[in-house]
Amino acid sequence: MTKDKRIEYHFFHWGPFLYKTILPKEELDQLVKLCSKEGKDYRNNLAGIIRHEHEMDRKKVFPILAPYFQSYTQAFNQHFGHSTVFDNVKELKLESAWVNYMVKGECNPMHTHDDDLSFVLFAQIPKGLPKEYEDHRGNTKPGAINFIYSLQNDPHLLNQHSFFPIVGEMFIFPASLNHYVNPFKAEGERISISGNIKLINYPKKENG
């Protein structure tokens, strides 16, 4: 079990439960040290049109992020205040983890993930991206991550939240939530760490 820690977070409940928090620098630094372009090429497992996407060591990533995954489930239960999908969860298992090195002209088209929960953490952004983002006119903000949800797949009931990538900030969200990343023109790398989490439930009790 991980030691309890105080975690500050914000959530956006608009159908899906979208959780946002920020990691302390020391934890972010630990994760960045685990990133490498020498890792296994992970592009065949992903939707991104990105040259460098590499697998990370789940066993080393999980202990750093486990308290935040637990915080997500607690925030979810606290918000709804009744029986939820997390009531019977025995374990949160990190099924996959990878790092994206995104550069100008590349993008991550709309997609969902496997398993139950997913996360994305921003480790670095290009120096010129904030100005490019601020100066851009229109809704497709460069380098932004966009989450999209439609009630019953009705295009008239479409909701979208877009966020500028802030170093150290992490989002946790349902793996089935559509999301995408816009391309940008700034020089340098937009580095993000992502992964998928599976809920392992306690065995169902038999009657009698």
Q: Which three-class secondary structure string do you get for 98-158?
A: EEEEECCCCEEEEECCCCCEEEEEEEECCCCHHHHHHHCCCCCCCCCEEEEEEHHHCHHHE
| Cα dihedral across residues 45, 144, 111, 31: positive or negative | positive
- The pLDDT tens digits of the residues spanning 41-61 come to 999 989 889 999 999 999 999
Better pLDDT: 31 or 149: 31
**Among candidate residues 29, 17, 16, 20, the one with its CA nearest the CA of residue 145:** 20
pLDDT of 207 higher than 80: no
Measured CA to CA, the distance from residue 85 to residue 77 in angstroms comes to 9
**Phi, psi (deg, nearest 5) at residue 166:** -105, 130
Q: Please list the alpha-helical segments (H only) found in the chain.
A: 25-33, 58-80, 129-135
- The pLDDT tens digits of the residues spanning 152-171 come to 666 666 788 899 999 999 99
Q: Which residue has the tokens 């939820």?
A: 84
Burial class (CB in 10 A: 0-12, 13-18, 19+), 122: buried
Angle in degrees, CA 60, 64, 67, rounded to 5: 135
Q: Which domains are assigned to the chain?
A: 12-201 (2.60.120.620)
Q: Which residue has the tokens 């990370």?
A: 56
| Other residues' Cβ atoms within 10 Å of the Cβ of residue 38 | 6
Q: Residue 64 gets which letter from DSSP?
A: H
Mean pLDDT of the chain, nearest integer:
89
The average pLDDT across 109-116 equals: 93
